[in-house]
Structure 1
């Protein structure tokens, strides 16, 4: 080969090699910072916006390409009936004398029953639809072992339509709510803030087997000058929205601030899209110098029916987006949360992190499954998190000095995501359609870190990575689904 030809080839190769070097350096930077394609896409689109059509079009094309590499094509699917969330079988009524049962057939009767309630009362709504235009106020205390219970006899038989910012305010201890359906029905949908506001002295609150739709924060929990509503339980509820929330207020179905020792278990949380303001929303968080919150055996689907919307949606969080000092339990929020546990949760279809640990010390993340999320992010020096037994379709990232202690987990690299490779997602039959049968034998560990999985099944000695052994055990039998009641058409006043 002539010297001139060789020189020409070398000169031609220089730009290509330089381009490869720049690309490699860029990929290393993205890997180091934990910036996934789904996180980079909106940044690219924002930087391209407002320029000429070529730049804007290129930015939009690149954003779509990045999302495609990371998330694939959006797939519509029908969510199967699960054993997680509200169930068609009612929570059974506690034993009570005839005098203790207060049957209510109208909203005024319900208001009187709440105002006159004593420990041991069972306030039972007759079947019907009740339009709530002012909050039902739970201000009378129950006692340990003898709570005040508000319930429907059968799931789906009682609907509370809340045409007010708040449906039920709980400011006294030992109240329990069962088998209710609560729907936001405000003239302006974004004005429906909370189905439940648990505040001040509302400790030992329990909500079980309720279906709650169309609120910004279905459960809002916070302290005030009267105290902090500690030791609550939110269990086996379905929390969702039928449309994006057109509000700049916080959108988080379980919004817990400055209360401690809560257990949030076996809930189904879906479709919490914030359409205005910063467009950042969470499935559930605990923050504000709270402590010892347990999230276990929940299914969180950031986008199930409401897919492809702008904004950042995070699954579960200790710390959320931070708390103003005036709302912190200690008045300072040295840490947003301490000693929290996330165990055997399934978090999927999130445009941002599946789990976000923000200024939260002593967090333990054990046996969770994250699919189609930006993985786990642990941020700021106040944060420390121990991870073990998790199956994470995405990276585990420390940001701004967060401390990670990694045990035996399966996760994916950022570099693989930019190549369109998702090895953890590939363990399942059709995860985009929520078919989470194992595609072959599940990967197993040599140790057991949980005794019960997402579906309520006992774990073997060599348990599978992630939240469940066999997802079929999470599916509700067709006979149970067909026996579920439907909401009545009549309206009680």
Structure 2
């Protein structure tokens, strides 16, 4: 008995030390997936025993937090680019059958022109400039009749540079075709006076920032819409340039809706990337009903990948709307989004005032982080496979959510993740009855259903409705 008592003392002390360590990490908002790369970095360059111990500790932490990370095929979703696009608008149709004809038609466009690519593959070198203005009643539209019939390969730092109002791009397949990833920054650069820009039902791949949106010389491209597009990359981006499929700076009143954003891995430089952000003094951006999959095909890569953000990594003052960036963003809404498979947080608010985070589902992410005293967020109705955390003075107003404390992640416990059939493959049928809440926020859920009183937590009531033909 005395021997057992002697042996028990160090075991109890070790357990107490481990518990204290987990409590401290939880208080600091450090998840296992964040601690793992830190351990690898701190143990690299030492002798083999230390390096091996660091690798073992890191792999154990990732396994507890993330489980098996593997590529998977997506079911055909009702979000993102669809097989049937929007109907043809009325206007003066101009058919183009070559890259030169397209460039000329866009350069000389007038309000009400409908520039239609005939079916085929188009290789366009250099930037195509859209400088003529459409109008509210007669926008300039660039489109394919049917999605999937027109593929445009762009070889330029900026593919389409739009600097005039009321342009719309629809039903196009666009890919970056540069030898160097740093040479294919943007499929679209929406800048200055290009207000009321619309991109709908396009499939765009292999760019650093598929959409770059910013002001210039006191003009800002406000009131834009990016809807029902599929944005992704087929390989990690070997560049030090920013990697963010939707990179919005200093423009206000944008709607980012019903898009599929996936595989935005940055393998050079700081290795930090985002699915989409709005920053630089922007206001009233709405992210709603988007599916953001940080890792679907490109799995197991080093680096930090964040789902959605107001504020991103911050903005240089000269690029801010007010020249000061007192706040990076004000009055934003994130509503009914699904964010999954991120090596960092699913939602990050950096100096983002008056933000509403409502009925989102976050799976296999480090949760939600609200940072800096300028940030204030109301978080209500979300289902988060992780924690809600504020740091550096961020104000977090927490309502009724389903979340998981960070401490549980160090024990490999994921009570929200196990609510679903196979979340790692995006089979998000409920294992049992969906958890319901008393209140509701109205509006549509991820799959388009009306959210009534007593609706469930998170982005959707029945994921079956998000899959074409059902699960």
Aligned counterpart in structure 1 of residue 445 of structure 2, from 453, 474, 478: 453
Contact 2:71 2:298 in 1 (8 A): no
Q: Provide the rounded CA distance (Å) in 2 between the counterparts of 1:461 and 1:9.
A: 58
Match for residue 64 of structure 2 among 46, 56, 69: 69
CA distance in 2, matches of 1:9, 1:82: 59
Unaligned runs of 5+ in 2: none
Shift of 1:11: 4.4
Please give the alpha-carbon distance, in whole angstroms, between the structure 2 residues aligned to 1:192 and 1:202.
21
Is the deviation greater in 253-262 or in 459-468? 459-468
2:124 matched residue in structure 1: 132
1:367–1:450 Cα contact (<8 Å) kept = no
Distance in 2 separating the partners of 1:52 and 1:127:
60
Could you list the per-position Cα deviations for residues 17-53 of structure 1 after superposition, in whole angstroms to 9, with x for gaps in the alignment? 3222221211111111111100100001100001011
What is the match of residue 22 of structure 1? 17
Q: TM-score, normalised by structure 2?
A: 0.98
Cα offset, 1:166, TM superposition:
1.2
Give the 3-state SS of the residue equivalent to 1:43 in structure 2.
Answer: helix
Match of 1:185 among 171, 177, 181: 177
Instruction: Give the alignment of 1:418-429 within 5 angstroms.
Output: 418-429=410-421
Aligned with 2:94 (options 102, 106, 131): 102
Tell me whether 33-42 or 444-453 shows the greater mean CA deviation: 444-453
* Counterpart residue number, 1:197: 189
**Within 1, Cα distance between the matches of 2:326 and 2:453?**
39
Instruction: Pick from 108, 115, 122 the counterpart of residue 123 of structure 1.
Output: 115
Task: Output aligned runs, 1:181-260, within 5 Å.
Answer: 181-260=173-252
Residue 483 of structure 1 corresponds to which residue in structure 2?
none
Aligned counterparts of 1:17 and 1:260: Cα–Cα separation in 2: 56
Q: How far apart, in 1, do the equivalents of 2:388 and 2:169 lie?
A: 38
Structure 2 counterpart SS, 1:57: helix
CA distance in 2, matches of 1:450, 1:71: 32
1:434 Cα deviation from its structure 2 partner: 1.1
Q: Does 1:48 align with 2:43?
A: yes
Structure whose CA Rg is larger: 1
Alignment of structure 1 residues 150-169 onto 2, 5 Å? 150-169=142-161
Q: Take 2:469 and 2:182, find their aligned partners in 1: how far apart are those partners?
A: 36
Question: Which structure 2 residues correspond to residues 364-383 of structure 1 after superposition, within 5 A?
Answer: 364-383=356-375
2:326 alignment partner in structure 1: 334
| C-alpha distance after superposition, 1:390-437 (max 9, x if no partner) | 000000001111001011100000111001000000110111121100
Give SS of 1:74's match: coil
2:317 to 308, 325, 337: 325
Question: Over residues 429-451 of structure 1, what are the superposed CA-to-partner deviations in whole Å (9 max), with x where a residue is unaligned?
Answer: 11112110001100001122132
Cα distance, 1:326 vs structure 2: 1.1
Runs (4 or more) in structure 1 with deviation over 3 Å come to: 8-14
Tell whether the 8 Å contact from 1:201 to 1:226 is kept in structure 2 after alignment.
Answer: no
- Could you tell me how far apart the structure 1 residues matched to 2:183 and 2:53 are? 38
Are the counterparts in 1 of residues 442 and 453 from structure 2 also a CA contact under 8 Å?
no
Q: Which residue, out of 273, 277, 283, partners 1:281?
A: 273
Q: Greater relative contact order: 1 or 2 (C-alpha under 8 angstroms, separation 6 or more)?
A: 1
Q: Counterpart of 2:302?
A: 310
Partners of 2:71 and 2:104 in 1: CA distance: 45
Q: Quick check: 1:60 aligned with 2:52?
A: no
Cα deviation, residue 13, structure 1: 3.5
5 Å matches for 1:353-372? 353-372=345-364
CA distance, structure 2, for counterparts of residue 303 and residue 276 of structure 1: 17
Distance 1:63 1:382 in 2: 34
Structure 1 stretch displaced more, 439-448 or 235-244: 439-448
1:60 is paired with a residue whose SS is helix
Q: In 1, Cα distance between the equivalents of 2:353 and 2:327?
A: 7
Distance, in Å, in 1 between the alignment partners of 2:52 and 2:204 is: 40
Deviations for 1:269-290, whole angstroms, at most 9, x for unmatched residues?
0000000000000000000010
2:204 counterpart SS class: strand
C-alpha separation in 2, matches of 1:191 and 1:40: 34
Q: Is the 8 A contact 1:197 1:219 kept in 2?
A: yes
**Is 1:114 aligned with 2:106?**
yes
How far, CA to CA, are the matches of 1:275 and 1:452 in structure 2?
36
Structure 1 regions of 5+ residues with no counterpart?
Answer: 479-493
TM-score, length-scaled by structure 1: 0.94
Q: Does structure 1 residue 82 correspond to structure 2 residue 82?
A: no
8 Å contact from structure 1 (residues 320, 358) kept in 2: yes
Aligned to 2:392: 400
Per the alignment, residue 87 of structure 2 pairs with 92
Q: CA RMSD in A?
A: 1.1
The count of aligned residue pairs is 470
SS at match of 2:208: coil
1:54-75 deviations in Å (ceiling 9; x for gaps)? 1011101110000000000123
Post-superposition offset of 1:226: 4.8
Q: What is the alpha-carbon distance in structure 1 between the residues aligned to residue 324 and residue 22 of structure 2?
A: 38
Maintained 8 Å contact 2:442/2:452 = no
**1:274-323 deviation per Cα after TM superposition (whole angstroms, max 9, x unaligned):** 00000000000000010000000000000000001000000000000001
